[in-house]
Amino acid sequence: MKSFHIAIVGATGLVGEKIREVLEERNFPINSLRLFSSERSKDVTLLFRGEKIPVETLPPLDRNSKFDIRHSKFFVGVDIIFFSAGKEVSNAWVPIIAKNGSLVIDNSPAFRLDPEVPLVVPEVNPEALSNYQKGIIANPNCSTIQMVVALHPLHKVARMKRIVVSTYQSVSGYGREAVEVLQKETHTILHRSKFSSDSYPFPHSIAFNIIPQIDDFNEKGESLEEWKMVEETRKILAEPDLRITATCVRVPVFTGHSEAVNVEFEKKITAEEAREILTHSPGVRVIDDPENSKYPLPMDAAGKDDVFVGRIREDLSVESGLNLWIVSDNLRKGAATNAIQIAEHLFSAD
């Protein structure tokens, strides 16, 4: 693999920070690294491989802004840009960057359902990387990634008919602000002190609570997070008619998303067969010994790149169903690591 000129947009956010960390851990071949963030991070420097790298400010730009030739040349010479700065920023910047020859791996939902943009989980649909005409590859939603990594090996054996998933998603899925709010709220409640936030990230208090809403609701009553899980899973698996329903819940956990998944298959697959298949599946680690209280926990998954699966058992209410408990670090496999694996897979032959 040759060396690349790399940039991270959103470098001071939780996912951007994790991308930098994982690039170093995996010894990704980097010729140069540029870091970008908003004006709030002006004059900040970040460490990478022992070197202090200044964070550059990304100038504001939206679709209504007058086009400036400087914007088209801002990333000239950069081979791969890991974009983790939110949907609005991606919508404004990513097409400009890609048009000028850089490959963008975008972590926002901006292009995930664009039929001309691959939506990729390397363990599941690497063949989608053969065609990225727009110069953009979309990184799926964190909760979608861990579910399809666990279900795809079973789908290849017994073809899924229906998926019912309930998620228990950590606050870091929202961002650094949400992590800080949970810390401060918890301290406030335990010490009976006062806490207020100028921009509260959730519709209700999150400490010692759960909130059955992630993102806004659509006209059908689904949250956008639930809608994303359905549509992204169908696209990744190339199963546009697969029946899927989701309920997404925010829980007071700092890192790691958990999912209770019920799957109905076209033919019977036993729990024992499923354990054997998943034990030998890439990116999956089976922890399934409930009699000894061994099953995946978000605390144990934090800092790791595997998707952990346990509580594998047959659904006795249907002929061919399974229940699974799936846990993963949402900042790593659910975002940073998956994006870097995309780049590794794409350029491994170079």
Per-residue pLDDT tens digits of the chain, which is 350 residues long: 689 999 999 999 999 999 999 999 999 999 999 999 887 777 899 999 999 999 998 876 655 554 454 565 678 889 999 999 889 889 988 988 888 889 999 999 999 999 999 999 999 999 999 888 889 999 999 999 999 999 999 999 999 999 999 999 999 999 999 999 999 999 999 998 876 766 689 999 999 999 999 999 999 999 999 999 999 999 999 999 999 999 999 999 999 999 999 999 999 999 999 999 999 999 999 999 999 999 999 999 999 999 999 999 999 999 999 999 999 999 999 999 999 999 999 988 55
Per-residue confidence (pLDDT) for residue 62, from 0 to 100: 52
Distances (CA, A) of 195 to 60, 170, 188: 32, 21, 6
Q: For the chain, what's the residue count?
A: 350
Helix, strand or coil for residue 172? helix
| Phi (first) and psi of residue 249, to 5 degrees | -130, 135
CATH of the domain spanning 144-330 = 3.30.360.10
Residue 55 has a CB neighbour count (10 Å cut-off) of: 21
CATH class of 4-140+335-347: alpha beta
Of 15, 4, 10, 11, the closest CA to residue 141 belongs to 15
Sheet holding 80-83, edge to edge: 45-48, 51-57, 30-37, 4-9, 80-83, 103-106, 136-138
Per-residue confidence (pLDDT) for residue 350, from 0 to 100: 53
Catalytic residue, candidates 191, 257, 280, 345: 257
Per-residue confidence (pLDDT) for residue 158, from 0 to 100: 96
Per-residue confidence (pLDDT) for residue 40, from 0 to 100: 78
Record the tokens describing residue 72, joined without a space: 């088209």
**115/190 Cα distance (integer angstroms):** 49
Q: Give span(s): CATH 3.40.50.720, the chain.
A: 4-140+335-347
Catalytic residue, candidates 5, 71, 142, 345: 142
Per-residue confidence (pLDDT) for residue 67, from 0 to 100: 46
Q: Give span(s): CATH 3.30.360.10, the chain.
A: 144-330
Cβ(308)–Cβ(148) below 8 Å: no
Q: Which residues contact 162 (CB under 8 A, 6 or more apart)?
A: 242, 243, 244, 263, 264
Annotated active-site residue 142? The verdict is yes
Per-residue confidence (pLDDT) for residue 189, from 0 to 100: 92
Per-residue confidence (pLDDT) for residue 64, from 0 to 100: 54
Helix, strand or coil for residue 32? strand
